[in-house]
Structure formats: C-alpha cells, structure tokens
Amino acid sequence: MSDAIADDLPSFRRELNSWLDDNEGELRLGHVGHPTLDEDLAQFTHIKRALFDAGWGRHGWPVAVGGLGGSSMLRAVVGEEIATRDLAEPGMWSMIEVLAPTVIAYGSPALIAEMIPPLLRGDETWCQGFSEPNTGSDLASLSCRATAVEGGWSVSGQKVWTSFAQFAERCVLLTRTGEPGSAHRGITALFVDVDSPGITARPIEIQNGTLEFCEVFFDDVFVPNERILGAVGQGWQVAMDVLPYERSTAFWHRGAYLHHRADQLIATVAGIAGADGAAAVDTGQARLLGEAFQAVMAFRCRSRATQHRLAGGGQLGAETSIDKILIATAEQTLFNAARDVLPGVIEFDDDAEAQRLRWEFLYSRAATIYGGTAEIQRNIVARRLLDLGSE
Amino acid sequence: MIDPDDLALLATSFAAAMSRAPGAAEADDALHDLGWGELLAHAPLQGAAAAFSALGVTGSAACLLDDVAANALGLPVSASACVVLPAPSFSRQPAERRGQSIHIDGLVSARIDRSDRAMVAVSDGSVVEVDAALLRTTDVIALDPQRPFRRLRVDVCERDVVVLARAGSWDTVILRARAAVAHQLVAASRVMLDQATQHAVDRVQFGRPIASFQAVRHRLADALVAIEGASAVTEMCAEDECDPLMATMARSLAGAAARTTAASAQQVLAGIGFTTDHPFHLSLKRTMVLDTLFGSARTLPTEIGNALLAIGGAPRLIEL
Ligand SMILES: Cc1cc2nc3c(=O)[nH]c(=O)nc-3n(C[C@H](O)[C@H](O)[C@H](O)COP(=O)(O)OP(=O)(O)OC[C@H]3O[C@@H](n4cnc5c(N)ncnc54)[C@H](O)[C@@H]3O)c2cc1C
C-alpha cells in the first residue's frame, strides 16, 4: 500500500466527520419507533444522495463511473462513519459495495457509465439474483434458463431470497445458458431491468417480520446482448468475484456497525449499573460483553489487513473465508450477549430500542447463512487454506 | 520501528539459535549473544514479537519473560535476570507486605537456578530484590516436563530484601507480557495445527485419508480461524504503540485459540497423539502453562468486559 493513501486517511476521516456533524440534522429523516423497511429505504436513498452530491459518496469509485477515484479505503472510511452514526441500514449499504464493483469489472464501458452513477447517487436499488428454490449452497446447479433469441436472451425460471427485489430497478442475474448438466461452465451473468415485461417479484416475510427478500419469477423475459456481464459462459467467474468485494469494503462497514452496537450495548449496561449503584454488573455479564467485544476486534484487525491488501492492488481469495467466519461469529456472539445481559428485553419489551434489538438479534441468525454458509466457508478453509485435499 | 521483513529475519535467527541450544539456559545465553537485550531496550513490543514467536515455533523453554518484565520495570536485563511472575491466571504483583514479612505468591522461571537474586514486584508499587536461594523450590513434578515456570509460595523477611529504584510501572509489565505470551501462544498453536493437518493427510481409515472426512476438516478449519483471529489482534501489539486493552484481547484470544486448537488437534491425532512418541503432548502442556500467565482465556474476557464498562463504551482502538 502506498503510504500516501494511509497518511491521507486520518484527514479524510476528520473532514468527513466534520461535514457529517455540520449536516447531521438534514442527513437524518425522522421516523417513529423502529423504522419500517420503507423508512429504512427512504433514509438510505436520502443519505446516498447527500453523500454523492457533497462528493463523499464518490471517493474510491473510478472516474469513468462518476467517481472521484482514489483508494477503496476511502469508501471503507465513509461506510464506517455512516454505520457509526446509524445513518444507513447496513444490508442496503452492502448491496452497493458488493454489486457495483462486479458490474464495473464485467460490464461494457457504455453500460457502466450509464448505470453506475444513478446507483451511487441513490437513485436506484439493485439486487442479486443467484439463489433458486433448488439452488442454495450448490450455486453451480442453478437452472434459471437463458435461451439465445434475436438480439439477446430470453430468461425463464425462478429466483428466491432475492433481497430488496421488490424495490430494485436492476438485478445481477445468474442464468443457465449451457446444457442442463453443465454446472459452473454453463452459467452466464446478465444485468437485467427489473421492470422488464415477464418479471414478477413477490415479497417473502422473514423471521424478524420484514419483507426483505422476494421470490422472483421470470417468464420469457427479454435481455439484450449488451447486458451480458463478461462473456457467455463466464457467469461463474463473475459470481466468484462478487465474494472478495463483499469481504472488503462491505465487511468493513458491517464490522463498524457491529462495533457501534457493541458500544451502545456496553453504554446501556454501564448506565443500568450506574443507576443501580455499586457493582450491579455481575462477572457473568462482564464476561459476555468481553467475549463479544474481543470477537468484534478479532474481525476488525483481520479485516483491516484485508483492506490494506486490497487497496495495495492485491487479489483477495480463499483467505477471505476467514474474514467471513470471523464477522459471522462476531455478529452472533454480540447479539447473543445482548440477549443475556439484558434479560427479557428481546423477548418481551416493546420500546424502540427493544424492537431494534429484537429485529437485529433475529437478523443476526442469518450471518452464518447468506453469502455462503458457515459450513461452506469451513469447506473452503479446509480445501484451499489447509490443503486437506478433496472430501 | 523495525521493518517487518527485518523482524521476520530476527525471528528466524532466534528460532535457529533456540533449536541449536540443548537447554533453556543455553538458549537464554544464545539469545543474549544475538542482541536480544538491546533489541528489547530499543523496540520492546517488536522485539518480543520476534523472540516469543520463535519460542512458540521451537517449543524452547528459554526464560525470556523475565527479560520482558525487567525491561518494562526499567531494571537491568541479562541472562541471569530473574523476575517473579504473577500467580497462575492473575496479573497483579506477586507479592504483598504482611507486617514484617513479604508474602510471595507467584511463578518463577527456571532462571532462578542460575541467578543470585530475584526481583519481586510488591502490591504497594515497590520492587524488591531477594536472595534467589530463598526462592529456589525443591524439585516438584509439574505438567510441563521442561518446567519453564514453577509455582512459588513463600514468605520472606522484610530485612532480607533490598528495595530497588525502578523506572517502569507494573502496568507496563502486564501489557508487554500479555503481548509477548500472545505471540508465543499463536505460534505454538500453529505448530499443533500443522501436526494435526499433516496427520489428517497421512492417516488412512476406511480406505481414504481421514482428511477427507468433513468432521475432521471442520475441526481443523475452526482451529485455523481461531488462530488467525488471535493472530490479527496480536499483530497489532507489535506496532510502536499498543493500547493495554488491545494487548489484553490479544492474550485472551490467543489463549482461546490455543485451547480450540489443542482440542481439535488432540481429537484428530487420536491414539498416536495420546502417546509421548508423538510431540503433540509437549505443545498441549506448554500452551496450558502459557495460558496461566497474566490472566487466562477464562478470566480475561471478564477483565475486558469490566474495562469496557468502566469506559462506558467500545473504543475503536485502531483505525484503517
Ligand atoms: C437474509 C438473507 C438474505 C439473502 N439474500 C440473498 C440475495 O440477495 N440473493 C441471493 O441470491 N440469495 C440470497 N440469500 C440466499 C443465500 O445465499 C442462501 O440461503 C445460501 O446460499 C444457502 O442456501 P440454502 O439456504 O439453500 O441452504 P442449503 O444450501 O440448502 O444448505 C442447508 C444446510 O446444509 C448445509 N450444507 C449444504 N451444502 C453443504 C456442504 N457441501 N457441506 C456441508 N454442509 C452443507 C448448509 O451449510 C446449511 O446448513 C439470502 C439469504 C438470507 C438468509
């Protein structure tokens, strides 16, 4: 990594924070109690627009797509400060950090010049159509079919658990273009307009009560040739490249969100202890908080090295499965601690704070499921990092 | 600030010297000949990173923690410097005044056998020097066959000690010792994981290597994840400055990683790992002993939690 970038980060952060301080009032839309998904999306769109217009949201993105250039670490810093101020729902934020770099890497220059700026500006929402009813961990088995037609492709099939599809303007879609048994060789990635005729997105309620993801049906949907990401048959590589992006700036952002929640939880417990007088916190509670924080820090230190490697031009690969396991562990350890140090709050209370904790506790159960399950990550660690050969 | 490549070279040459030395005392001497004492004075955290990683890799019983503690207290460092360490899983000073006597409850390294005097930190903040003969214990059998540390419970008379002038504080000892032991635990854990991984690939059951069984693979993967998490935090303790909380977490996570790794490696090595023909038991015992130094994987999370509650929040500690 060039020292110039690192030297610059503290002042970049300082200036960003003073801008955020100055504009705090306008940056936050109001809502009563725990926000609904619609309110989260409105807030997300609002903050993206404000950051883009002020330039902060353009740092770390290539000039060719409306960015101001510079290291990806600038993006990580922006994400971190936004998370620390609770100015954006972390799942929505990560979608951009994950999908935009992939589309930039595989889309045509004309496509990315047209499509990325509105995304960065918060004018659009995108989604990721990988999973299918019969295709979860074994992504290479996907069957949503794309057939060559005049000038492009006709897509028919179904996706599922597609986060934010009901709000999305575009979808990065994996399709089967090879023979049915062609596994990872016969997959093609398409960049699809979600308002194309033949697409139906039906929201599914998730266990925390929100309608975060959808089942999406494709019935003879036309996608022009210009919308192929990479080449025909290169879809597997596109999908595999999504992962390192997920594990760089998006993870740093999510780690910052967890750090902030740890901060709030500790302040809450310290506040209760202070109000109750001497030594209200028993050692069991202190221990749970300590374990949660050290898990958050293990991820932070690991991810810090990953961010530096990426910004220095390094390739990210299988070793980021360790980052993935560490952040999932941190998230679940933290919310497990919240459940136990604040007995009954998640289970029974109804104020905005309790609703948030309940919502987030339930969501944290997915940390070992999405983006490749905990078991799939361990398979990768065993095969690629420990050289244990095949199963 | 020493260049990371130079630091890695140092660790390699330290490890080579430790491997050549027939015993702990010879390893102590070899390290001091290589300039370990000066390195410690010049760059204490980085120096400890290099030397304690080497200890972990080689399994050497060299008594370098005495040097770390002496240096942190601003006392002279040499191959015969001996500093009494805290009682198992504690980190406060090992001694306290009780009337006319000083009650010592701690650990002492094998250096005690070759030193004339030992330095003992007392709970009132003073450091006293005691005739080593008063602290030499009769040989007892303990877990680690090389006995790098021994348990010490003794009362000495006030008139038998000399109060030393010192520059450093006990808090500095705790920070530096935790960082040092964390480096050793991480390196020793990697040794155990390597042993188990190699065995998994070589050992055939049911007509295939046991490495092909997912139950085996996931145990080893969990060990690697624990080690890498601990290692990432421990690396942050080799920088110029290190927050005490960071050193505490490094030590805590490294202890936990050693426990996870030892359990996984033991299970994967199974019968052969249960014998003294296989070297695994040495790492198991050494890491158990190390995880009693300046706290343990069991006690440290509580200390971290209490520190955070006293702050009233979760500091970032490091930035990008
Ligand atoms: C909150 C959330 C958001 C999501 N968002 C999206 C999205 O936007 N777009 C999208 O495409 N998908 C999304 N998903 C889907 C997600 O990617 C899948 O759930 C995930 O890949 C796992 O697939 P599955 O649920 O079918 O589980 P399965 O693959 O059926 O696995 C079931 C269980 O078997 C285990 N298992 C499977 N294979 C192996 C193996 N080889 N070795 C050991 N164990 C194995 C798994 O670890 C798991 O425990 C989301 C999921 C969640 C929970």
Instruction: For residue range B180-195, list pLDDT tens digits in order.
Output: 999 999 999 999 999 9
- Taking the C-alpha atoms of residue B106 and residue A356, their distance in angstroms, rounded to an integer, is 47
Contacts of A153 (CB under 8 A, 6+ apart): A146, A147, A175, A177, A188, A190, A222, A223, A225, A228
What confidence category does residue A3 fall into, taking pLDDT thresholds of 50, 70 and 90?
very low
pTM greater than the 0.90 cutoff: yes
Q: Which pLDDT belongs to residue A32?
A: 82
Which amino acid is it at B80? S
pLDDT at A5 over 70: no
List chain B residues with CB under 8 Å of A385: 221, 224
Q: pLDDT tens-digit profile of A52-105?
A: 999 999 999 999 999 999 999 999 999 999 999 999 999 999 999 999 999 999
What confidence category does residue A246 fall into, taking pLDDT thresholds of 50, 70 and 90?
confident
List chain A residues with CB under 8 Å of B190: none
* Domains B85-163 and B170-311 fall in the same CATH topology: no
Q: Which pLDDT belongs to residue A142?
A: 97
Q: Ligand 1: which atom is nearest the Cα of residue A163?
A: 8
Q: Which pLDDT belongs to residue A280?
A: 57
Which residue in A288, A289, A388 is closest to B220 by CB distance? A388
- As a whole number, mean pLDDT of residues A249-255 equals 95
Domains and CATH numbers, chain A: 3-124 (1.10.540.10), 128-234 (2.40.110.10), 247-385 (1.20.140.10)
Contact B197 A298 (CB under 8 A): no
Type and span of the H or E element at A197 = none
Architecture of domain B170-311: Up-down Bundle (1.20)
Contact A293 B302 (CB under 8 A): no
ipTM topping 0.85: yes
Q: End-to-end CA distance of chain B: give it in Å, rounded.
A: 19
Q: pLDDT tens-digit profile of B142-195?
A: 899 988 999 999 999 999 999 998 888 999 999 999 999 999 999 999 999 999
Q: Ligand 1: which atom is nearest the Cα of residue A135?
A: 26
pLDDT at B56 over 80: yes
Q: pLDDT tens-digit profile of A294-303?
A: 999 999 999 9
Active-site annotation holds for A347: no
List chain B residues with CB under 8 Å of A289: 304-305, 308-309
User: Which fold would CATH assign to domain B85-163?
Assistant: Butyryl-CoA Dehydrogenase, subunit A; domain 2 (2.40.110)
What is residue A247's DSSP assignment? I
Q: How far is the CA of B214 from the centre of ligand 1 (A)?
A: 18
pLDDT at B251 over 70: yes
Contacts of B271 (CB under 8 A, 6+ apart): none
pLDDT at B239 over 80: no
* CA distances to B36, B78, B84 from B32, in Å: 5, 7, 20
Q: pLDDT tens-digit profile of B62-94?
A: 999 999 999 999 999 999 999 999 999 999 999
pLDDT at A6 over 60: no
Provide the strand spans (E) within A62-169. 126-129, 145-149, 152-163
Please list every protein residue whose CB sits less than 6 Å from any atom of ligand 1.
Answer: A 127-131, 136-137, 161-163, 213, 366, 369-370, 373, 375-376, 379
Q: pLDDT tens-digit profile of A311-353?
A: 888 888 999 999 999 999 999 999 999 999 999 999 999 999 9
Contact A302 B303 (CB under 8 A): no
Q: pLDDT tens-digit profile of A137-175?
A: 999 999 999 999 999 999 999 999 999 999 999 999 999
pLDDT at A278 over 70: no
What confidence category does residue A33 fall into, taking pLDDT thresholds of 50, 70 and 90?
confident
Q: Which pLDDT belongs to residue A350?
A: 92
pLDDT at A1 over 50: no
Contact B217 A259 (CB under 8 A): no
pLDDT at A279 over 70: no
